[in-house]
Structure 1
């Protein structure tokens, strides 16, 4: 069932971006023959990508491992072709914790899986090879999921926070997030919506609209304060203060499906984006991009 959004009056350019974002957002329908996020028939995976749709990205700068969370499960895309990790499950929500190899996910079980549908919140402590059930099994499909310093923020039709992934409390929010972006280094959380960027400074409990921010579709923290955002048209923006103010950096030419960022040298974070044409990377805070793996 599609998610519906109320869009408040904005300048023409912002309304155009919001309309483009609205067209990309919908809830998933297990077993449907069309792509659950666009309503269109899924196309073949882009070159270098293991799936026609990527929902999450994680990069470990110490090992340079690149992980893709997809409809067909988790893949290590550090080398080509990408290598499957663990069972085949539809990972709609995916986020990395502070500790190396620890991930949280949600979605639907794949063929042969003994997990309930929906999967609720699951956790892996071995890099995605195996998963344990934490909470809301058979109840929640968290399409948006983020880790913070104080816990987790997730959306399954209700925006909720949890200190441990087991007990949940409803947050004070009147919006539907497309993406939740957080970092284990801080309690700042961003929520992208067609109506504008929402920001929380208390781990997702309360929120405020950042009226001066661009209409961002994807966002990712590179550190406790540095954030990168991408508009529906591919325009990339950089924030050095946790999403309060933004500066336009560059542009990703192809349609973005998921992104992540890590701290870089001289205040220039690195960005990875899975697009309809493949995986791209920027080493200059989004000013320029090249295919991942290219020299």
Structure 2
């Protein structure tokens, strides 16, 4: 689960982040029907289709921007946002290898016949339909990513899988807020209140990168280049898979999820779902503007 954003010094950030992790897990619940007269969307004020954004994915050619939310999966490339598939609370969400392949986890929504929690589910048609792979009724993976060798996920316990069906428990000693990977590398980044945990063997072993910033959200633009955002919105870029970071600009509102792809000019393009809508950077994280103005 993500930490709370803050402008306090690092020591205070760690304390607040740890508390936020506990509160976030306690608050997690299955999606439910809105009360009479209520709307599950916030399009009128932010353009976001749900108040709870858990994942953000952008296609490699930047033609499609998808949000995984408490109310299901939405295409927000254009407004109004378009719902894809049924209503499920997608707490964990990541793109897989192959066009239109996604993995997700969370809770079934109203009218869904999926088990609670969802375990690991997969779509190969862009999120329209989902198949049950494993751990149905057992795991709600809040952190989830893919690597060249398989899947890394956390339901409070860190686990790896070569195929999404068989799992190995990892004795890592931490619970990641976000897992960031890429289908073309076995490097994985895990964000924690203590700093970035980094794996180069698809999540089997981990090293705490103590000298870097405390990153809250991370995403790979390509197999070696990653973007990271601190709890206060400060943006960093890593050209070496999370070993070192270069400070760039800042996002001045609460961030809920990020995604990154490599632009035609070689610079990473970074999207962020924020409390005020989707913003994007086309200059490697130095400046951000509303996505509909990009």
TM-score with structure 1 length normalisation? 0.90
Q: Which residue of 1 aligns with 2:162?
A: 163
Residue in structure 2 matching 1:16, options 12, 34, 39? 12
- Whether contact under 8 Å (1:17, 1:231) holds in the other structure is no
Q: Which residue of 2 aligns with 1:68?
A: 67
Alignment of 1:282-293 (within 5 A): 282-293=281-292
Separation in 2, partners of 1:85, 1:32: 16
Q: Which residue of 2 aligns with 1:7?
A: none
- Whether contact under 8 Å (1:17, 1:233) holds in the other structure is no
Q: Any gaps of 5 or more consecutive residues in structure 1?
A: 5-11, 34-41
Alignment of 1:79-158 (within 5 A): 79-158=78-157
55-64 or 105-114, which moves further after superposition?
55-64
- Whether contact under 8 Å (1:92, 1:143) holds in the other structure is yes
Q: Provide closer, same or farther for how the CA distance between residues 263 and 63 of structure 1 changes in structure 2, counting only shifts above 3 A.
A: closer
Deviation per residue, 1:195-233 (Å, 9 max, x gap): 111000000000000011100100000000000000010
- Report the secondary structure of 1:267's partner residue: coil
- Whether contact under 8 Å (1:21, 1:217) holds in the other structure is no
1:185 shift after superposition: 1.1
Separation in 2, partners of 1:166, 1:126: 19
- Whether contact under 8 Å (1:172, 1:207) holds in the other structure is no
Separation in 2, partners of 1:140, 1:71: 17
- Whether contact under 8 Å (2:31, 2:109) holds in the other structure is no
Q: Which residue of 2 aligns with 1:237?
A: 236
Q: Which residue of 1 aligns with 2:269?
A: 270
1:148 shift after superposition: 0.4
Separation in 1, partners of 2:200, 2:72: 32
Q: Provide closer, same or farther for how the CA distance between residues 281 and 32 of structure 1 changes in structure 2, counting only shifts above 3 A.
A: closer
- Whether contact under 8 Å (1:20, 1:232) holds in the other structure is no
Tell me whether 1:227 sits opposite 2:223 in the alignment. no
Q: Provide closer, same or farther for how the CA distance between residues 32 and 134 of structure 1 changes in structure 2, counting only shifts above 3 A.
A: closer
Deviation per residue, 1:118-153 (Å, 9 max, x gap): 000000000000000000000000000000000000
1:19 shift after superposition: 3.3
Separation in 1, partners of 2:28, 2:52: 15
Separation in 1, partners of 2:249, 2:283: 10
1:172 shift after superposition: 3.0
- Whether contact under 8 Å (2:86, 2:128) holds in the other structure is yes
Alignment of 1:207-226 (within 5 A): 207-226=206-225
CA RMSD of aligned residues (A): 2.1
Q: Which residue of 2 aligns with 1:193?
A: 192
- Report the secondary structure of 1:15's partner residue: helix
12-21 or 158-167, which moves further after superposition?
12-21
Deviation per residue, 1:229-251 (Å, 9 max, x gap): 00010000000000000010110
TM-score with structure 2 length normalisation? 0.90
How many corresponding residue pairs? 279
Separation in 2, partners of 1:16, 1:100: 42
Q: Any gaps of 5 or more consecutive residues in structure 2?
A: 33-39
